[in-house]
Amino acid sequence: MKTILVVDDNKLNLATAKNVLSGTYKVVPVMKGSQALTYLENGECDIILLDINMPEMDGFEVLEKIRQSEKSKNIPVIFLTADNDTVTETRCFKAGAIDFIAKPFVPEVMLSRIGRVLELEELRLSLADRLEQKTKEVSDIKSKSRQDALTGLWNRAHTEETVDNLIKEGAKGALLMIDMDNFKAINDNYGHIAGDKVLKMFADTLRQYSTDNDVLCRIGGDEFVVFLNGMTSKSEIGNRATDIISDLCKKIDECKFDTNSSVSIGIAQTPDDGTEFSKLYNSADKALYYVKQNGKNSFHFFSDKLDADKARAEKMVDLVYLKECMSRIDNGRGAYLVDYESFHHVYNFIRRFIERGKNNVQTILFTVSDVDENNPVDIEMVIDLLEKAIYTSLRRSDVSTRYSNRQLIVILMDAGEENSSIIAQRIIASFNRLYTGENVEIKYGIAGMDSTDLIGKKALAE
């Protein structure tokens, strides 16, 4: 049964309204506006019949207070008035009333108007519910379109937009690019179902070390991004990165994968390393690359390199100091291991150097392959071990780089073809001492280098 709150300072009017309505509705009669407001604080009703002319507080004042309350602002109100002129009628509607009933009451008119208002209210509530449901459905669809289906983390498009907006609003923080080392080996050796479980575990662990204010994202594959919103201390950021690496590596070990998998993190901070997502992402990517090239399973701040560059830029040195400094920096043994872009520049430098003398320089291209294609090996681990074998077998004057995930290039300075073959065999022997598995074949090709050589022209044909 619907409940009607009737507010009128005239007892006869209250009695008449109650007599007309009680057979169809539950009626709550009060004589003052203050009493009506008190009732509405805790009680409920479906419609309010409100007299205009009352002492202390007239109907317009009462309606204004009703509309200010979150609980009662949407309850339909019908004014009760003996004034049926157009001025009063217009004022009633402007005040927010949905209708008015003239006094003295005509029972049939009163019931008809109240019934019509309640029908309209039911229709309004029904439409509001449907709108809310549709809005929620659209919101859910939009949310899902911005989420990674496997992990539930945000995708790159949403993350880029969110981080950019946070920075525009003045937020400071750190962008962590997190990557699993040797993840491909898990998919290859244990299947994609196992790989998917590891990715979900990655996502859950990142949630564990994040707050509601942080932004978590899976870029794709085994690459994740976390924006630590509000965290600016390098010490705190480093501790967070250490905890993530430690926990993830522990969980990976518990999976008993024989893949030598670990976790590497590159870190960029705003505003110093970028004031938008794309610049932070590029900076963090460079920091991650540094980790990958220096042993993996660690983290690195992009700003550390910038600080080192800045320190050198602000310091004036002479040639004597520079020679001593460079000697102290590199007094070890083993080949230089550089990235392919850097190797390209080194190669061309050596080629120009050969043009000016008769130096004997050889290029060796090592290629790793599976003996049995139906039983593939962890190529990334094999390449890592071959790289270590190269480093420990060569002189500091030699240079090496990865050409691809299955090929390594070596430049031997001041070496003939015969010596190069001996060195290549020594590298393979060193690799065999490091690698205890089977089903791996390493081939190599040797080409003399002169000023017209293109890298690996002869060796690539091997």
Going by pLDDT thresholds of 50, 70 and 90, the confidence category of residue 30 is: very high
Query: What integer pLDDT is reported at residue 310 of this predicted model?
Result: 56
Question: In angstroms, how far is CA 71 from the centroid of its own chain?
Answer: 38
Per-residue model confidence (pLDDT) at position 227: 97
Handedness of CA 131, 134, 140, 146 (dihedral sign): negative
Sheet with 47-51, side-by-side order of all strands: 26-30, 3-7, 47-51, 77-81, 99-102
Which strands sit side by side in the sheet containing 440-449, from one edge to the other? 336-337, 399-402, 407-413, 361-370, 440-449
Rounded to an integer, what distance in angstroms lies between the CA atom of residue 113 and that of residue 115?
5
More confident residue, 7 or 396: 7
Average of per-residue pLDDT across 57-70: 91
Confidence of residue 332 (pLDDT cuts 50, 70, 90): very low
pLDDT confidence of residue 458: 34
Domains and CATH numbers, the chain: 3-124 (3.40.50.2300), 156-313 (3.30.70.270), 328-461 (3.30.70.270)
SS3 sequence of 218-286: EEECCEEEEEEECCCCHHHHHHHHHHHHHHHHHHHHHCCCCCCCEEEEEEEEECCCCCCHHHHHHHHHH
- In this structure, are residues 462 and 367 in contact, taking their beta carbons and an 8 Å threshold? yes
CA distances from 258 to 42, 162, 221, 326 (A): 66, 38, 20, 40
CB distance 391 to 337 below 8 Å: yes
HEC assignment per residue over 333-351 = CCCEECCHHHHHHHHHHHH
List, in sequence order, the alpha helices (H) in 69-106: 86-95
* High-pLDDT (> 70) share of the chain, %: 84
- The whole-angstrom separation of Cα 52 and Cα 79 is 6
What kind and span of H or E run contains 440? strand 440-449
* CB environment 261-273: b (16+ within 10 A), e (fewer): bbbbbbbbbbeeb
User: What pLDDT is stored for residue 341 in this prediction?
Assistant: 56
d(CA 343, CA 144): 44
Whether the per-residue pLDDT at 451 is higher than 50: the answer is no
Residue type, 358: K
The whole-angstrom distance between residue 4's C-alpha and the CA centroid of its chain comes to 52
Q: Strands 215-220, 223-229: parallel, antiparallel or unpaired by DSSP?
A: antiparallel
CA dihedral (349, 351, 357, 359) in degrees, to 10, reads 100
pLDDT at 22 over 80: yes
Q: Which two tokens mark 141?
A: 């669809």
pLDDT band at 336 (very low <50, low <70, confident <90, very high): low
**Residues 222 and 417 sit within 8 Å (Cβ to Cβ):** no
Sign of the Cα torsion 21, 23, 24, 30 reads positive
Of 222, 273, 285, 378, which residue is the catalytic one? 222
Q: What is the pLDDT of residue 461?
A: 31
Q: What is the pLDDT of residues 251-271, one digit of tens each?
A: 988 988 888 888 999 999 999
Query: How confident is the model over 148-154, as a mean pLDDT?
Result: 91
| Residue 240: Cβ within 10 Å count | 22
222 catalytic? Reply is: yes
Report the pLDDT value the prediction gives residue 96, as an integer from 0 to 100: 85
pLDDT at 166: 95
Residue 208 scores a pLDDT above 90: yes
CB of 340 closer than 8 Å to CB of 400: no
Report yes or no on whether pTM surpasses 0.85: no
